[in-house]
Chain A
Amino acid sequence: MITNIFIAGVGGQGLITLKKILSYAAINEGKFFRAVEIRGLAQRGGEVNVHFRIGEVDSPLISEKDADLIIGLDLLEAARGLEFASSKTRYLVSDHFTPFFQLAKFDKNDLLKVISPVTKNIFIVDAVKICQEKLKSSVYESVYLLGFAFAKKLLPFKEESLIFAIEKSVPSKFSKENIKAFNLGKNG
């Protein structure tokens, strides 16, 4: 059983933290995993992505059309994950777009136009808004999505492993808030 997760976003959105959480969850359950990340211009609003593969895998990179789950922290970057998507792929995307000079707007409908010919399994959630409202910060967006993915049975991990992994992966003073974000996502 192999689970391929492609995570796409913009620098500073917590992709590397997500990778860390998934890693610790896998270690906690004794599951083999390989991940690889691109973080070249991460801090400068450049695109960042993580390939995360759990199970009997060899390559750290996901093959074309082979993602089971694509987590998008940005609508445009989620659309860029298309090369890894097929009809079996679930899309979980934060309804949020970080604009840049060449592009001021890219919304939900723009994303759907790109990905719905390939897959119909799409969740678009208002993670940024909810985290800002309930937790006073959008930095919990990625962990909120993790909770949501867990509730939709998109992750091959137990809840206690994910909670353990969150505690291992974020600074201890933020761990309570992150677990809150996870639970918000789970119930979202």
Chain B
Amino acid sequence: MKPHKISLPENSTLPLLADEAIVLGALEAGVGFVSTYPGCPAAEIGDLFYKIKDDYGVYMEYSINEIVAVEAAAGAAFSGVRALVAMKHFGINVAMDALIPIAYTRPRAGLVIVVCDDPGCHSSAQSEQDSRVFIENLNILTLEPSDPQEAKEFTRLAFEISEKFEKPVIIRMTVRVAHQTAAVKIGKIPKPKIKGEFIKDLKRFDTAPSLVLNQKRELLAMKYELEKYLATTSLNPILTTYDVVNINKSIGVITSGVSHLYVLEVSKKLKISLPIFKIDTFYPLPMGKINLFLQDKTKILVFEEIIGLIEEKIRAEVQRRGIKIEIFGKNLMEPVDELNPDRVIEALSQFLGIDYSKPEKIEANLVVRTPRFCPGCPDWSIFGALKNAVKTDEAVFVGDIGCYMMGYYKPFELQDTLLCMGASLSIGHGISKMTEQKVIAMIGDSTLLHGGLHGVINIVNNGSSPLIIIFNNGTTAMTGQQPHPATPLGFRTQDGKVQIKIEDLLKVIGIKNIVVLDPVSQNKLLEKKIKQLLLKKQTSAIICRHPCIYIDHLEKMEIQY
């Protein structure tokens, strides 16, 4: 992937993903600094920035991981430059250590953090996570758009509010918002400010022990200021759907994110009129307005993806105020998998006591299509050599996040564990320490740099002997061939930097047996080395260097032995 010209003319209407609309909103708000680590369903945010950064004069980087991306963006915002950082759901897990104290600080320019969840796990292994749980701990404004146009508008607004309140703002989307396409109108894009100055102010930027409790008090108090301010905006609207017959004023529906669109759709289909409260701000919840909404209600139904967090907060408020309202939500929708119009129509008709017969499902019983490595992918050769060199029961194959996790599927079926970015090394270390079994830890170059290096240091420091296989294809392949620090020169985000060589890093850390080879042209050698090094009592690493086929035609890797 290389930067290239994309035209975004003012006043034109373009079909954009909400991810891309975020980019437009940020450009219109004058964003100067953008950082990200690529991950689905947020990858398209960074990818569009990468394509247009030179044309619009925005600084953009693929950072080494999400916490680094967040810290870098905070540094830019501390210096008075508007900054945006984007990540997938699991990214916020990595970034939390920085995000919590950053919420205590007061950036001098807008700081917007975008997090995209993947209910239904369409593009994620690992887990079905609800990132809003973390936001509870952050206490910062969180906006939830439901479509691309809102994604753009909310981003602009996020920068505005972030500067007004001198706090970071989060935009949280789920996959059906992030990957939803609609017509978006392009506004005026100003020339961004990309030079700032860090003006010292301890109480503002330093979370020293003597300052931290006051900072937290300020942050918590801001919730009420924010709520007051939000009440003056068009956010959190109450509306009535499809005006046919108002069946009952004493019932209401609360929606958030994409579920709002499903409820609108379904109420048209059922020809019912319902008071709907669309919640745009997960934090702070517009509790004043919610209380007004609840005043004449006897029962409400809350729609939200994954966990019933809004539902529980409303339940707590209702209990605190001692009012009698029946609250429905996750009791009608299991908190697993994404919502869709069919789940919504079922829950809504149950809630309303409407006779709705679900269309009879015809089961086709089709074989699930498993993904496979691309034709010509070097991972074919690496797994081929592993399969030939080691019998499945002769070693524990510890997997990691990247294309190579498809080694789990036929014809290889070489993956015994899969957890999170970088886990192969430390899970492998634990197994190696406590068993007599041989361990093969498989990790890609981007994942190693993202979250694996401390695992390597720990292995060397504590002395275990997994054989580390590094899939060095020169790119973050799984998410769309984004560059990383070990991407060959000439195919990089920042020109002029020296390429980081994985073998140099491993050597400095103290791994004694390091082999670098081309798994395709030296496949027999790879097989031999796997057999040899698996017998060693020390840690060994084989760096399998061969470019991803999608970068091969753009730039040959500089292979050195």
Contact = CB atoms under 8 A, between A and B. Distances in A.
Interface in B250-271: 258, 261-262, 264-266, 268-269
B265 A59 contact: yes
Interface stretch (B57-65, B191-199, B337-345, B461-469): B337-345
A35 B371 contact: no
Interface string A33-59: 111111111011111000000000111
Contacts of B372: 44-45, 100-101
Given A23-B15, A59-B261, A59-B265, A36 B366 contact: no
Given A24-B15, A101-B409, A33 B183 contact: yes
Contacts of A59: 261-262, 264-266, 340-341
B523 interface: no
Contact of B181 (A37, A45, A64, A83): A37
A40 B122 CA distance: 6
Interface residues of B, number: 45
Interface stretch (A73-81, A123-131, A152-160): A73-81
B374 A118 contact: no
B340 A102 contact: no
Contacts of A118: 362
A24 B184 CA distance: 12
B181 A63 contact: no
A44 B403 contact: yes
Given A40-B122, A46-B369, A100-B370, A61 B176 contact: yes
Nearest to B372: A45
Nearest to B121: A40
A186 interface: no
Given A35-B180, A58-B261, A10 B369 contact: yes
B373 interface: yes
A43 B548 CA distance: 12
B146 to A, nearest CB: 10
Q: Is the interface of A mostly helix, strand, loop or mixed?
A: mixed
B360 to A, nearest CB: 9
A34 B147 contact: yes
A180 interface: no
Interface in B346-385: 359, 361-362, 364, 366-374
B207 to A, nearest CB: 38
Interface in B409-427: 409-411
Nearest to B260: A58
B342 A63 contact: yes
A82 interface: yes
B262 A102 contact: no
Contacts of A101: 370, 372, 409-411
Contacts of A27: 13-15, 183
Nearest to B12: A27
B179 interface: yes
Contacts of B366: 76, 79-80, 114
Most B C-beta atoms less than 10 A away, residue of A43, A45, A64, A103: A43
Q: 6 closest pairs, A vs B, by CB?
A: A40-B123, A23-B15, A58-B264, A59-B265, A46-B371, A101-B410
Interface of A: 10, 19-20, 23-24, 26-27, 32-41, 43-47, 57-65, 76-77, 79-80, 82-83, 100-103, 114, 117-118
